[in-house]
Amino acid sequence: MRIESQNVPVSDDAIAMLENVLGSKFPKQYREFLRCNNGGHPEPDCFNFADGRPGSAVRGFLKLNSSEIHDDFVWNWKTFKTRIPGDFVPIAFDAGGNLVCVAITGPHYGHVYFWDHEFESDDGEPVTMNNMALIANSFGEFLSGLYQFEQD
């Protein structure tokens, strides 16, 4: 797997400041990925859910201090923090406006999930895990499970 990126790597201090704002530390594998790549597009980019169902494709990983709001980590976190379960932060997005998230607290810490915006809670309703699907038990497992879509 490789990451297509023209991003400047992120310092450990910048990541630590973000973790301080979030009130939790990133899983080690994601922290290292963010430090080295700071976003980008993976090749291959497709993933399945942990139960074997077809998933989606990563259009891009979020980055710190992006000039484009749609792929900026902080903008996405602020935009979605009341729409996704509180233990999670968005780390990537697909072409359909859905998110790949990682748990930074709680019983799912380190697990990577897919958040499907089509099935999110209605305004005023409590956020649930009903629209979350497990992709991988760790960020490293998520990356190693990416594959290239092949049409028949």
Instruction: Give the domain CATH number at 98.
Output: 3.40.1580.10
In which residue ranges of the chain is pLDDT below 50?
A: none
In a domain, 97, yes or no: yes
Give the residue numbers spanning the domain of 136.
2-144
Total domains in the chain come to 1
- Give the pLDDT confidence of 97-122 residue by residue, as tens digits: 999 999 999 999 999 999 999 999 99
149 located within any domain: no
18 domain residue, yes or no: yes
Residue 105 in domain: yes
Domain membership of residue 123 (yes or no) is yes
Full 3-state SS string of the chain: CEEECCCCCCCHHHHHHHHHHHCCCCCHHHHHHHHHHCCEEEECCEEECCCCCEEEECCEECECCCCCHHHEHHHHHHHHCCCCCCCEEEEEECCCCCEEEEECCCCCCCCEEEECHHHCCCCCCCCCCCCEEEEECCHHHHHHCCECCCCC
